[in-house]
Structure 1
Amino acid sequence: MGLKLRLSILTIALCQTFFANAASVNSKIEVITVTGDRFDSSPDQQLTVINTIEREEITRLNPKSVVDILETLPGVSVTRNGGAGQSASISMRGTNSGHVLVLVDGVRIGSATLGAVSFNALSPENIERIEVVKGPRAAIWGSDAIGGVIQIFTRKLDGGEWFATAEYGSDAYTRASGGVGISHGDGSTTISLNREQSDGYNIKNDNEDDNDGYRRFGMSIKGQQVLNQQWQLSWVGQLETGNYEYDSSRANEADYDNYLWNLAAQYQHNKLNSRLAVSQSRDHNENFRADNASLGRSLYQTTRDQINWSNSYTATDNLTFIGGVDWSQESIMGDYAIDQRDLLGFYALTRYQVGKLLLEGIVRYDDVENIDSETSYNASLGYQFNPQWRIAFNAGSAFKAPTFNDLYWPDTGNAALMSETSNNMDLTLHYDGNYVDGYISVYQNKINNLIEWAPNGQIGSDGYEIYQPANIAKAEITGVELSLNYNTWGIEHRLGYSYVDAIDLRGDTPLVGRSKNEFDYALGYSWTAVDLFVNYHYQGKRNAGDYNYDNATDYLASYNQIDMSLGYKLTESWQLRLKANNLLNENIISDHNYFSPGRQVFFSVSYQEY
């Protein structure tokens, strides 16, 4: 897409904001989130930026990976090593990919060895909603929440409800999915299944010229049972298993087999709400060469046992206390000097409202076995000018504990590492009217003790310096984030823009992998049996480091991507959907030498009984 077309889209979208008051009445839907403080709260009770994506929008997006959903949000940047089935990473507000905590139904997921989350293993069809909290939230959740928190909630159907979908598309893509809600007294259980595969395409510019396909199977179980007026039980189970091919000199294929389960009991009486949850998650990934299974075979496995006790006490209409205890044990498989550690955290939150002023304070203490303990905090102040306008100021700290690979990888681990730490401030102006809602947020995040590979002053037997992970880097990230949603004449509009200035303070140079500008514009329209959803994403050029080794900074080119989804309801239950990705067939590269797919088209048929 040329510059003129980009400017035209931006101009049209901005001009339409001036006509928002002429729109038809836009009925407001009450939004309740839990990720900000662990209990059901409305956004105006939480003094932080929270984006939510509901099932209806996920259906219209018809994504092929979870990162397809997340990339539509301002302040969230995606780096892909290929298409939907390949590995991908998330950066939030310019922080590292390991600085984002990811939860599924309250359960922490991801690898304790690599410090990464397998987004490619998650099935979008099994997701009910996603909540994304921007900024540090370690004071609530503990390690990793430096840039923000992503919580994924699995599908939930009432008894007697069910759905089924079949889809076919480019690169021999096929998908079959379905789910059913089962009633049992004062409770119900949802079972969702998803099976998909694709022959793929050649994802990398190298000597291995072949198609890199994938297959995955996902199953989720989610239920609850009301015992009496005070007690309720809930349970969650999820299994994700599959395989994906990629290009590498040592290994070119991987199998994964990940699962999680969570059992919880909740007590609610008068002013007290208390919840005790026991859970376990496993991240299992095995890499190998398809033509020589014994060459380059490697196994990464993390098992994480967790116990969480959370409590909320509403002392008065204006005063709330929240607090609890988190315990987890991480166990890994491999030849490590230490292959297990315990983590223990205590947190407390106080929220108090005085007239139009809302104050919130959070403090948390974390003890990570064999690592220095950390104390995190959040201090927030909000002022409600009137029913539409609100301003909020946040100051907070966060940390990320070193991974097992950083600490104990054979021959190169550094057991003396400290946690990476950060201090953040942000100021956000919110507006929520009948036809328009949005926010603009300005933030600064200073991160210290960043872990990077560096020479340790010793010489190996081969005569070269020995490198180890070390706490040697520091960064300063300054940014602006804008979100605007409005309706004009029955057309939904959503704009998102983020500016990120991420600097490596050691040499006052830009951090690798970031782009200063990203812009999103989505348009949705429904008319009788037809719905149309168009999404435009602009990714500015990215600093790619010096991959040519010529002592000069290299950049990945900026790109424009337009996706379209068109749905048609044959009846109240039957629906057809046509989805087209990368309509302009742009050459999209978000990581050096790795290509995203060109233009793709998908067609699905679905039935739902609600």
Structure 2
Amino acid sequence: MKIPTSHVRLAALPLALSVCWPLAASAQGAPALQDTVVTATRSAQPLADLVGDVSILDRTAIERSGATGVADVLARLPGVQIARNGGQGTNTSVFVRGAESRYTAVYLDGVRLDSQSTGGVQWEQIPLSQIDRIEVLRGPAAAVYGSDAVGGVIQLFTRKGEAGKPAPYVGVGAGSHRTWQLEAGISGRTGTDSAIDYSLGVSKERSDGFNVQPQNLRRATDGVRNPDDDGYARLSGNARVGLQINKAHRLDATLLASQLESQYDNFMTSASAPRVDDRNHNRLRTAGLTWAGQWTEAYSTRVQVTDSHSRYATTPSYYRAETDLRGYLWQNEYRIGAHLLSATLERREDALVNGGIDRDRSQNALALGYGLNSGPHALQLNLRRDDDSEFGGHTNGSAAYGYAITPAWRATVSAGTSFRAPTLYQRFSEYGVGSLEPEEGRNLEAGLRWTQGATSAGVVVYRNRVRNMIVFGGAGACASTFGCYENVGRAQYEGVTLSASHAVGNVQLRGSVDFQDPKDRITDRQLARRAKRYASFGADTQVAGWTLGAELQATGQRYDNAANTNVLGGYTLVNLYTSTQIARDFTLTARVDNLTDKQYETARLYANAGRALWVGLKWAPN
């Protein structure tokens, strides 16, 4: 793997700045090494033992971020960029290490989310108000999760009931663009020996929005636009119940539902064309049931059944697509001292209804894993075989090794393969080709991390090459004369991620800088809507009972098209936030986003929000 030397030289300055930046910003503090993570291998592991590149966001970090969408929170993490066609509720893409949005496998309480129409999760459908924790694994993990985990894996978790008496909460907030939110919930434990834990939550949010296509973005060749404000409304709720049957066995059930309506602007061909109120209609439902059993001190199993339903429709220009995913998992783990062996059987069933398409398919998989944590050594090996009812079998593997050079320094290296199966739309729509093959990736990466008390710094270097990419080409093997999907694309995602955190007195500093080169290997051009350089810096402190924080997000130039002719300028955003307890059990929060009122686009002709204020009050008795 060859990383440009100019990138390495430039990396030294931001790394130094990230540990002493006076107004740096990150909504989250550095995770503690004793935190437990499940995303890397599907087994609970201490963060200190992981070989993978993982970030954690807890509920405190999510609330401090002031974000109203899951994608906006993720954009503050190393290695993650987003693009959106306007404001909240519109089409949103998340790029992990520059990889396509469909190359990230996404789970909610263990329930797989995906669209068999567009490919990849529809991020705007996920209600951030119901999310309690986020884990992000950067790098492919198809040897553990199967199809889709080409660029990374993101796991979202709802709130879980904790020990103690019932803990209710009620929150209200209001902000710019006549935005408001109401939320309420309760969690706790009950029953003999507190064997039952529960959590319930509901949220209603609404915003008048802003004009996402103002006249100042218009080019001479553009069509006429609708000058209205584009708002959104969402109603969401979740329920989670756990039963500790005895010391060795546990049942967990989760439910989530969200309904989102948002406005968007379509192009009109002439000034005399009627202006219409274009709307998106999104629905998301997830359900999961898990039984975990600890049969002996060494042997444990987990059985899980999951189901998700995603619906996307538009009016008055009618379009509708519905994806149903059903999953079955039987995971076995056997621990012998420092060794952990795992064997997993998994089945996934996909179904799509979209126009004239009413198709389904299934994938059966066997996954094997071996983990070792002994002294300074950490080793993780995984192998997985997936058999698809449509295109046949596919095998993927990964190997990762970590070595603690000293108690403070740790080096890691890993390699892995990945794949993504064609969606049902890509195979069976009028643009589809039944003979499409899976997209395939090969990844290499190495990392070095230093940790001393509350101070840490790290660097990760990676290269991920993908072949058989499915792209939209000219007319050919499909029914449409307009164009067809085909396996002709090749891409390369390579880069360097630098991150650091440091405490100066009672001020916590944090920063990350990414230098990457996501490119089309056929044309050697930069991939659309991804910048080569982006960074996030942050700081927060406690002063006289107040939490004060600031963050800075900077992104370089990107392009909106494959030809690299439509330029999207770089931008820098400054956000401020504060919170304090104004009375017993009452917390006041306030936030200013985009303090300098920067005008910028992440998708051509679609504006993002300018300066915005948010004030919230939450009652949560201790």
Candidates 571, 592, 600, aligned match of 1:588: 600
Residue 402 of structure 1 and its aligned partner are, at CA, apart by 0.8
Quote the residue 1:181 is aligned against.
187
Quote the residue 1:194 is aligned against.
203
Q: Report matched runs for 1:549-588 at 5 Å.
A: 553-588=565-600
User: Does the 8 Å CA contact 2:108/2:155 hold for their aligned counterparts?
Assistant: yes
1:232 and 2:259 matched: no
User: Does the 8 Å CA contact 2:109/2:254 hold for their aligned counterparts?
Assistant: yes
User: Does the 8 Å CA contact 1:459/1:466 hold for their aligned counterparts?
Assistant: no
For structure 1, the residue ranges without an aligned partner over 5 or more in a row are 1-8, 19-25, 290-295
Candidates 259, 269, 272, aligned match of 2:285: 259
Structure 1 residues 64-112: Cα deviation after superposition (integer angstroms, max 9, x where no partner):
1111110010100100111223221100111111101111011111211
Candidates 311, 314, 319, aligned match of 2:332: 311
Q: From the superposition, tell whether residues 566 and 354 of structure 1 become closer, same or farther in structure 2 (CA, over 3 Å).
A: closer
Q: From the superposition, tell whether residues 457 and 39 of structure 1 become closer, same or farther in structure 2 (CA, over 3 Å).
A: closer
Quote the residue 2:464 is aligned against.
445
Quote the residue 1:244 is aligned against.
262
The separation in 2 between residues aligned to 1:12 and 1:376, in whole angstroms, is: 38
1:273 partner letter? S
Residue 460 of structure 1 and its aligned partner are, at CA, apart by 8.5
Quote the residue 1:35 is aligned against.
39
Quote the residue 1:66 is aligned against.
70
For structure 2, the residue ranges without an aligned partner over 5 or more in a row are 1-12, 23-29, 215-223, 269-276
Q: From the superposition, tell whether residues 11 and 380 of structure 1 become closer, same or farther in structure 2 (CA, over 3 Å).
A: closer
Candidates 492, 497, 514, aligned match of 1:498: 514
Q: Report matched runs for 1:329-348 at 5 Å.
A: 329-336=349-356, 339-348=359-368
- Secondary structure class of the residue paired with 1:114: coil
User: Does the 8 Å CA contact 1:122/1:218 hold for their aligned counterparts?
Assistant: no
The separation in 1 between residues aligned to 2:135 and 2:32, in whole angstroms, is: 18
User: Does the 8 Å CA contact 1:218/1:241 hold for their aligned counterparts?
Assistant: yes
Q: Report matched runs for 1:40-51 at 5 Å.
A: 40-51=44-55
The separation in 2 between residues aligned to 1:450 and 1:476, in whole angstroms, is: 11
Q: How many residues align?
A: 581
TM-score normalised over the length of structure 1: 0.91
The separation in 2 between residues aligned to 1:541 and 1:192, in whole angstroms, is: 40
Q: From the superposition, tell whether residues 353 and 129 of structure 1 become closer, same or farther in structure 2 (CA, over 3 Å).
A: closer
The separation in 2 between residues aligned to 1:354 and 1:216, in whole angstroms, is: 49
Q: From the superposition, tell whether residues 134 and 14 of structure 1 become closer, same or farther in structure 2 (CA, over 3 Å).
A: closer
1:351 and 2:378 matched: no
Quote the residue 1:171 is aligned against.
177
Candidates 303, 320, 323, aligned match of 1:299: 320
1:210 partner letter? D
Quote the residue 1:392 is aligned against.
412
Higher relative contact order (CA 8 A, sep 6+): 2
1:509 and 2:528 matched: no
2:229 partner letter? N
The separation in 1 between residues aligned to 2:446 and 2:324, in whole angstroms, is: 38
Residue 283 of structure 1 and its aligned partner are, at CA, apart by 0.2
Residue 30 of structure 1 and its aligned partner are, at CA, apart by 2.2
1:433 and 2:439 matched: no
The separation in 2 between residues aligned to 1:147 and 1:348, in whole angstroms, is: 21
Quote the residue 1:605 is aligned against.
617
The separation in 2 between residues aligned to 1:326 and 1:520, in whole angstroms, is: 38
Q: From the superposition, tell whether residues 92 and 568 of structure 1 become closer, same or farther in structure 2 (CA, over 3 Å).
A: same
Quote the residue 2:168 is aligned against.
162
User: Does the 8 Å CA contact 2:365/2:386 hold for their aligned counterparts?
Assistant: yes
Quote the residue 2:504 is aligned against.
488
TM-score normalised over the length of structure 2: 0.90
Residue 337 of structure 1 and its aligned partner are, at CA, apart by 5.6
The separation in 2 between residues aligned to 1:276 and 1:13, in whole angstroms, is: 47
The separation in 2 between residues aligned to 1:324 and 1:281, in whole angstroms, is: 21
Q: From the superposition, tell whether residues 428 and 144 of structure 1 become closer, same or farther in structure 2 (CA, over 3 Å).
A: same
The separation in 1 between residues aligned to 2:489 and 2:552, in whole angstroms, is: 35
1:98 and 2:124 matched: no
- Secondary structure class of the residue paired with 2:598: coil
The separation in 2 between residues aligned to 1:372 and 1:458, in whole angstroms, is: 21
How well do the aligned residues superpose, as a CA RMSD in angstroms?
2.2
Residue 572 of structure 1 and its aligned partner are, at CA, apart by 4.3
Quote the residue 2:314 is aligned against.
287
The separation in 1 between residues aligned to 2:433 and 2:454, in whole angstroms, is: 55
- Secondary structure class of the residue paired with 2:607: coil
User: Does the 8 Å CA contact 1:457/1:466 hold for their aligned counterparts?
Assistant: no
1:193 partner letter? V
1:425 partner letter? L
Quote the residue 1:57 is aligned against.
61
Residue 303 of structure 1 and its aligned partner are, at CA, apart by 1.0
User: Does the 8 Å CA contact 1:165/1:607 hold for their aligned counterparts?
Assistant: yes
Structure 1 residues 33-83: Cα deviation after superposition (integer angstroms, max 9, x where no partner):
001111210123221101001111112112111111100101001001112
Residue 29 of structure 1 and its aligned partner are, at CA, apart by 6.3
Quote the residue 1:518 is aligned against.
534
1:363 and 2:383 matched: yes
Q: Report matched runs for 1:266-285 at 5 Å.
A: 266-268=292-294, 269-285=296-312
